[in-house]
Amino acid sequence: MHKILTIAGSPSQNSRSSSVLELSRLILEKQGLDVSCLSVKDIPPEDLVYANFESASLKKAQNMIEQAQAIIVGTPVYKASYTGVLKALLDLMPQYAFSGKTVLPIATGGTITHLLSIDYAMKPLFSVLGATHILRGIFILDSQMQRGEGGQLTLDDDIEIRLKDSLTELASFITC
Ligand SMILES: Cc1cc2nc3c(=O)[nH]c(=O)nc-3n(C[C@H](O)[C@H](O)[C@H](O)COP(=O)(O)O)c2cc1C
């Protein structure tokens, strides 16, 4: 059983929010936790746009969500909210897909103006999906993330500490 699932909501190549999820995976795996990864880019666009409920990719996504005890959802802020393609994916999941699960929201954005998008956009969505616990979440500004020469992402010290603290909190909800 996959204990923790990351869901990446960015359609972009070299996505910052997806790199934050990758960093989270590495941190959690160092603690011996089992992490699997799902991205909106794993689903054929036609299946999302035409709501193809027979899609093998969507069925696989549903299965990955079912198997997870905890979920980290990472998305860029688009127009003051999560991405449309993330919503398109979650729209096609069962009504209470997040039931019994703990969810950590992570949003990356260009401006502090949309800091509250975690509270007014992400949390209500996860709530309607039946999430049992929704953690406080982390908003990361583009200016707080840097890419090294090899393309690896590093975070400002204070954000990295907040990420690690949030992951520790998330891990505390995982049962053997
Ligand atoms: C189409 C689009 C819309 C965006 N809208 C917002 C916005 O409303 N507020 C904001 O803070 N940043 C906005 N941004 C900036 C992104 O949220 C930010 O650069 C983010 O870190 C990109 O994440 P990604 O690399 O994972 O896609 C927007 C970017 C794009 C491409």
- Residue 100 belongs to a domain: yes
pLDDT on residue 32? 93
The percentage of residues in the chain with a pLDDT greater than 70, rounded to a whole number, is 99
Taking only Cα atoms into account, the Rg of the chain, rounded to an integer number of angstroms, comes to: 15
Q: How many domains does the structure of the chain reveal?
A: 1
Q: Which residue has the tokens 């509250």?
A: 116
From 46, 49, 113, 45, select the one nearest 79 (Cα to Cα): 113
Q: Tell me the pLDDT tens digit for each residue of 158-176.
A: 999 999 999 999 999 998 7
Q: Tell me the pLDDT tens digit for each residue of 14-47.
A: 999 999 999 999 999 999 999 999 999 999 999 9
Measured CA to CA, the distance from residue 73 to residue 85 in angstroms comes to 13
pLDDT on residue 1? 45
Q: Which atom of ligand 1 is nearest to the CA of 113?
A: 11
pLDDT on residue 2? 53
Domain that holds residue 13: 4-171
Q: Which atom of ligand 1 is nearest to the CA of 9?
A: 26
| CATH number assigned to the domain comprising residue 19 | 3.40.50.360
Angle between helix 157-171 and 16-30 (nearest 10):
60
User: Are the C-beta atoms of 114 and 138 separated by less than 8 Å?
Assistant: no
- Residue 113 belongs to a domain: yes
Measured CA to CA, the distance from residue 46 to residue 58 in angstroms comes to 11
* Averaged pLDDT for residues 49-60: 97
- Bridge-partner residues for 39, per DSSP? 8
- Residue 78 belongs to a domain: yes
Residue 111 pLDDT greater than 50, yes or no: yes
Residues with CB under 6 A from ligand 1: 10, 12, 15-18, 76-80, 108-111, 114, 142
What backbone phi and psi angles, to 5 degrees, belong to 39?
-130, 150
Question: How many CA atoms, within 13 angstroms, populate the side-chain half-sphere of residue 53?
Answer: 4
* Averaged pLDDT for residues 123-152: 96
Q: Which atom of ligand 1 is nearest to the CA of 140?
A: 21
- Residue 176 belongs to a domain: no
- Residue 157 belongs to a domain: yes
* Averaged pLDDT for residues 121-136: 98
